[in-house]
């Protein structure tokens, strides 16, 4: 049987939510990843160092027995985030990034930024204290076509932001377009990007052709096949500024299978396996370790993980639904198969 052993990967973009569902969600990521950048779009959003510290404690308490999974916390940027809050965040040692959601761009982004220039003091402090700015890169004007929102953001918002803050380290999250790939590739060394498994494996036909698939709906929305191909090309190229970030975003089944369904794809139960499948299909399994386990840590200035995981080429059925609080959640590939599996050694908690 073919196996693949990697330095334990990290997830540089993850939603874990809060409260009773934490225990149902955290263990999937903890079995695969050493660390994860934890998104702050809770209700209310994680806008202070104190809130991030309390949230971190709840995540640590929800880990499986013996797990060393480390949540890397983020602050939610608002129009009014004071520079002093950024200073406190940097001093905490457990906050590694600040997340910029344009107001109204996605789930729980109502308190997000209405005009990036209002954040210039906070952004200067992020650069000064060597934190990372993570960006949901979409314009939010209702009249802008949803398939164009990312590409327009690059020229209209991101280019001026990078020009105004010449020492700011930025991660453009969840790339979905060939335009974004080009923008990041041509950008400065301090600009990195994450890529999700769904954007490597699916295009907008998987969302809309033959029926609406609410479990394939996420933001930024799936794009064209040529965009997917550009993402595969860059992810498997060995370029060190493009790395793994699942954007696994759990929502209860009823919130997805709804006349107005929520955006978010729950990939945590098979996250690294999905990337293995995508890299394998591209004939580039040898490049997975850099993308999944090295480049993100290097970009964030953190050490690479010291332990390993092993994947085997063995199909595994994915359940139709999984427990989620007092209800259920539907993971990506529900009722189907994934081509790769983690070995039992990797899944045992003492392996981490
Ligand atoms: O699909 C998404 N879901 N995109 C986001 O940006 C947010 C996320 C969520 O929190 O559900
Ligand atoms: Zn996200």
**43 CB burial (10 A radius; 0-12, 13-18, 19+):** exposed
Task: Note whether residue 140 is domain-resident.
Answer: yes
Q: How far is the CA of 295 from the centre of ligand 2 (A)?
A: 19
Q: Is residue 323 part of a domain?
A: yes
Specify the pLDDT at position 349. 52
pLDDT (average), residues 295-310: 98
Q: Which atom of ligand 1 is nearest to the CA of 250?
A: 11
Closest CA to 81 of 51, 47, 107, 104: 47
- 349 or 76: which carries more pLDDT confidence? 76
Look-up of token digits 């965009």? 227
* Percent of residues, the chain, with pLDDT higher than 90: 95
Residue located nearest, by CA, to atom 2 of ligand 1: 264
* Cis upstream peptide for 220 (omega within 30°): yes
Residue 347 lies in a domain: no
Cα 13 to averaged position of ligand 2 atoms, centre (Å): 6
On the question of pLDDT at 1 being above 70, the answer is no
Mean pLDDT throughout 123-132? 98
Q: Is the pLDDT of residue 165 over 60?
A: yes
Whether residue 98 contacts residue 41, with contact meaning beta carbons closer than 8 Å, is answered with no
Q: Which two tokens stand for residue 326?
A: 């007092």
**Counted domains in the chain:** 1
Q: What is the mean pLDDT of residues 53-70?
A: 98
Cβ of 245 less than 6 Å from ligand 1: no
Q: Are strands 341-342 and 308-312 parallel, antiparallel or unpaired?
A: antiparallel
Identify the pLDDT of residue 242.
99
Given this model, what pLDDT does residue 156 score? 97
CATH code: domain of residue 95: 3.20.20.140
Is 15 one of the annotated binding-site residues?
Answer: yes
Task: Answer yes or no: is pLDDT of 350 > 80.
Answer: no
Catalytic: which of 79, 145, 247, 298? Answer: 247
If you measure from the C-alpha of residue 249 to the centroid of ligand 2, how many angstroms do you get, rounded to a whole number? 7
Residue the block writes with tokens 């994947």: 311
Q: What's the confidence (pLDDT) of residue 346?
A: 74
Q: Is the CB of 249 under 6 A from ligand 1?
A: yes
Tens digit of each residue's pLDDT (9 = 90 or more) over 19-55: 999 999 999 999 999 999 999 999 999 999 999 999 9
What is the mean pLDDT of the segment spanning 179-188?
98
247 is in an annotated binding site: yes
Which of 18, 37, 41, 221 for mutating ligand 1's site (highest number of atoms within 8 Å of CB)? 41
In the annotation, is 247 catalytic? yes
The verdict on whether residue 167 carries a ligand-binding annotation is no
Q: Is residue 306 situated within a structural domain?
A: yes
Residue 348 lies in a domain: no
Give pLDDT, residue 106. Answer: 82
Contact 40, 46 (CB under 8 A): yes
298's tokens: 């290097």
Q: What percent of the chain has pLDDT over 70?
A: 98
CA–CA gap between residue 135 and residue 220 (Å, rounded): 12
- Cα gap 278→186, rounded to integer Å: 24
Residue 27 in domain: yes
Q: Write out pLDDT tens, residues 256-267.
A: 999 999 999 999
Distance CA 81, CA 250 (A): 27
Backbone torsions φ then ψ of 6, nearest 5 degrees: -130, 150
Mean per-residue pLDDT of the chain: 96
For residue 348, pLDDT beyond 70: no
The range of the structural domain enclosing residue 147 comes to 3-342
Residue 352 has pLDDT above 50, yes or no: no
Sorting pLDDT into bands at 50, 70 and 90, what band is 107?
confident
59, 22 contact by CB (below 8 A)? yes
Q: What is the pLDDT of residue 105?
A: 82
Q: State if residue 99 touches ligand 1 by the CB under 6 angstroms criterion.
A: no
- 107 CA from centroid of ligand 1 (Å): 5
- Give the dihedral of Cα atoms 24, 95, 264, 18; nearest 10 deg: 40
What does the radius of gyration of the chain's CA atoms come to, in whole angstroms? 19
Ligand nearest to C-alpha 137: 1
């Amino acid at each position: 049987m073919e196996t693949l052993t990697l330095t334990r990967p990290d997830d540089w973009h993850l939603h874990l939510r809060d409260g009773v569902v934490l225990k149902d969600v955290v263990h999937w990521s903890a079995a695969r990843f050493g660390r994860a950048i934890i998104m702050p779009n809770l209700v209310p959003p994680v806008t202070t160092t104190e809130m991030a510290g309390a949230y971190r404690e709840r995540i640590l308490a929800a880990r499986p027995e013996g797990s060393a999974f480390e949540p890397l916390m983020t602050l939610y940027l608002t129009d009014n985030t004071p520079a002093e809050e950024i200073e406190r965040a940097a001093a905490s040692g457990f906050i590694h990034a600040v997340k910029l959601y344009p107001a109204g761009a996605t789930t729980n982004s109502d308190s997000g930024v209405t005009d990036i220039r209002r954040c210039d003091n906070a952004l200067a402090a992020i650069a000064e204290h060597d934190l990372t700015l993570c960006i949901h890169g979409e314009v939010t004007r209702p009249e802008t076509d949803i398939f164009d929102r990312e590409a327009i953001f690059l020229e209209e918002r991101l280019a001026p932001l990078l020009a105004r803050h010449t020492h700011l380290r930025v991660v453009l999250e969840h790339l979905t377009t060939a335009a974004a790939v080009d923008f990041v590739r041509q950008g400065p060394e301090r600009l990195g990007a994450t890529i999700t498994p769904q954007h490597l494996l699916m295009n907008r036909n998987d969302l809309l052709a033959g029926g609406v698939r609410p479990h394939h709906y996420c933001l930024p929305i799936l794009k064209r096949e040529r965009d997917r191909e550009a993402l595969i090309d860059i992810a498997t190229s060995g370029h060190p500024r493009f790395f793994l970030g699942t954007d696994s975003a759990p929502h209860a089944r009823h919130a997805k299978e709804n006349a107005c369904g929520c955006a978010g794809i729950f990939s945590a139960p098979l996250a690294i396996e999905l990337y293995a499948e995508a890299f394998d299909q591209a004939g580039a399994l040898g490049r997975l370790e850099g993308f999944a386990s090295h480049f993100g840590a290097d970009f964030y200035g953190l050490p690479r993980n010291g332990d390993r995981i092993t994947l085997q080429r063995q199909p595994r059925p994915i359940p139709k639904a999984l427990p989620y609080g007092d209800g259920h959640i539907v993971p990506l590939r529900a009722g189907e198969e994934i081509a790769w599996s983690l070995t039992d050694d990797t899944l045992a908690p003492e392996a981490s």
